[in-house]
Chain A
C-alpha cells in the first residue's frame, strides 16, 4: 500500500452531496484533515455528521462531490480506503455474545495481523480490560464497551480513524478516559476524524473544528480562530461555582 506524502491531507472532502429521497442531508461539504491531526465535526442531530462518516468509510455512496482518504478515492478505490481506515461507529459495535478478548482476536484475524492472541492481550492491558477479558461483553458497562470498541479499531494500525460520537451515552469519567485515548492516538501520528454534539469535546480534543449545520460546513478553523469570530473577551468578575461534573469527579476521586 502506498502512503501518500506528508504534504497531502489525510482526508480531503470536496463538494460532497447526499440526499435520502427528497431530503438533502449534505449540500456541498468541503474540508481537509491534515495528517496526524484531530479534526472534529461538530453539529446537532441530523446535521449530516454520520452520513459524512459513512461515505468516508465506503458504507454509502455520495450523490455528488469527491472524497479521498489517505490519498485514495472512496468511490473508485474503496478497497484501498478500507485498508487505510478504522471505523468506530455511533453505537459501540461489539459482539455481545463473545468475550472482550474474543472480539479483539476476531478483528485481529480479519485484519490479518500476526499473532492475534498477543495483539488482543496487549490491547486488553492498555485499555484496562484484562480482568474482564473472558467475560461476555453483554456484561460490560457503557465505558468498558466503548473502550473495547476503540481498542478494536486500533488493531492493524490504520493511519486514519473515524470516531462517530465516541462519548455519547458515557458517564463523565468514561468520557475523560476516551478523550485520553484519542489524544494518545494523535500523539502517535494517527489522523482522527471525530464527530460530536458536545462543544466541550471538540474544544478538549480537536486541532481543528468544523461546524456542520444543515448539510454545510459553516465554520472551519482552530479553536483560537473560532474564538476570534466572537467579540473580544470582556473582563468580568463572576463568582465561579463548581460544575456538577467537577463535583462528581472530585467526590468519586476521593473514594478510590
Chain B
C-alpha cells in the first residue's frame, strides 16, 4: 500500500471537517439553497396548483419530488463555488503541494455537498409537511427514495466539480446550475406530460428528471414504480460516471 492510500481516510476526514465548517459557518448557503424551492412550492401549491389536474393526488404530494430535485440542483452550485474559491485563494495548491492523499481535496468537497444537500432536503420536506404533504410509504420505500436522492446528489456534485475546477470567474462556476434547475419544469414534475404538445412531450418523457420524479412520486404514494426506477437509476449512474470521468480529466489538467 502506498503512502497516499494509507493516509487517504485520515486526510479526507480532516479536509471534509474543514469544508463542513464552511457550511455550518455560512448557514446563508443553506438558506439561499432552500429559498427558491420553497418559494416555488408555495407558488405552485397555492397559486397554479388549483388549475393543474393531478387526479386524486394532492398537488403538494405530486410536485414535491420535482422540488427536491430543484433543491439539489441549486445546492450543488455551492460545491462549484467552494471549489472555485479554493483554487482562487491558492489553498488548493497549498494542499496539493503537501504530502497528502491529493484526491482527498476533491472528495472532501463531494462529502460536504452530500451533507449540505441532506440538510437542505430535510428543511424542504419539513416545509412540505407543514403545507400538507403526507406519505404512507414504508421504511423500504423511504430508503429507496433516499437512495435515489443520494445518487442524484452524487451525480450532480461530480458534475459541479467540473465548473468548480475549470471556471474562470466565480459567476461562471455557479451558472452551470441554472439549466439543471430549469430541467424539472419540462418534465412530469409539475404538470402531467400528457398535456404538452408532441415534441415537448417527447423531450419531457425522455429526459432524466421525469423518470426520477415518477419513481420518487410512486414510491411515496405506495404505487408500483414499474420500469421507471430502472430508467432513473440508469440516468443517475450514467451521469455520475460521465461527470466523474470528466471531473478527473479537469483535475489532472489542474495538477501536474
Interface residues, chain A, CB within 8 Å of chain B? 54-55, 57-61, 78-79, 82-83, 85-87, 89-98, 102, 106-107, 109-112, 152
* Residues of the B chain whose Cβ atoms lie less than 8 Å from the Cβ of A152: 94
A112 and B22 in contact, given A82-B98, A95-B91 (Cβ under 8 angstroms): no
Judging by beta carbons under 8 Å apart, are B99 and A79 in contact?
Answer: yes
Judging by beta carbons under 8 Å apart, are A109 and B94 in contact?
Answer: no
* Residues of the A chain whose Cβ atoms lie less than 8 Å from the Cβ of B91: 93-95
* Residues of the B chain whose Cβ atoms lie less than 8 Å from the Cβ of A78: 256
Judging by beta carbons under 8 Å apart, are B97 and A97 in contact?
Answer: no
Judging by beta carbons under 8 Å apart, are A82 and B99 in contact?
Answer: yes
Ordered by A's residue number, 20 sampled pairs between the chains whose C-beta atoms are within 8 Å are A55-B256, A57-B97, A58-B96, A59-B93, A59-B256, A60-B256, A78-B256, A79-B2, A82-B100, A83-B99, A86-B97, A87-B93, A89-B94, A91-B90, A102-B21, A109-B11, A109-B14, A110-B98, A111-B98, A111-B99
A97 and B25 in contact, given A58-B256, A87-B97, A109-B10 (Cβ under 8 angstroms): yes
Judging by beta carbons under 8 Å apart, are A112 and B97 in contact?
Answer: no
The prevalent SS among residues of B at the interface is helix
B26 at the interface (CB under 8 A from A): yes
* Residues of the B chain whose Cβ atoms lie less than 8 Å from the Cβ of A61: 256
Judging by beta carbons under 8 Å apart, are B97 and A95 in contact?
Answer: no
- Closest A residue to B26 by CB, please name it: A97
Closest 8 CB pairs of A and B: A93-B90, A87-B97, A109-B14, A61-B256, A57-B97, A82-B99, A93-B94, A83-B99
Judging by beta carbons under 8 Å apart, are A59 and B26 in contact?
Answer: no
Judging by beta carbons under 8 Å apart, are B89 and A59 in contact?
Answer: no
Interface residues, chain B, CB within 8 Å of chain A? 2-4, 7, 10-11, 14-15, 17-18, 21-22, 25-26, 89-91, 93-100, 255-256
Judging by beta carbons under 8 Å apart, are B98 and A97 in contact?
Answer: no
A83 to B256, CA, bound (A): 16
A58 to B93, CA, bound (A): 10
Judging by beta carbons under 8 Å apart, are B256 and A79 in contact?
Answer: no
Pick from A61, A79, A86 the residue with the most CB of B within 10 Å.
A79
* Residues of the B chain whose Cβ atoms lie less than 8 Å from the Cβ of A92: 90
* Residues of the A chain whose Cβ atoms lie less than 8 Å from the Cβ of B95: 110
B7 in complex: contacting residue of A55, A96, A106, A112, CB < 8 Å: A112
A112 and B10 in contact, given A58-B97, A59-B256, A95-B18 (Cβ under 8 angstroms): yes
Judging by beta carbons under 8 Å apart, are A96 and B89 in contact?
Answer: yes
Judging by beta carbons under 8 Å apart, are B21 and A90 in contact?
Answer: no
Q: Tell me, rounded to whole Å, the shortest Cβ–Cβ distance linking B6 to chain A.
A: 10
A98 to B97, CA, bound (A): 20
Pick from B2, B26, B91 the residue with the most CB of A within 10 Å.
B91
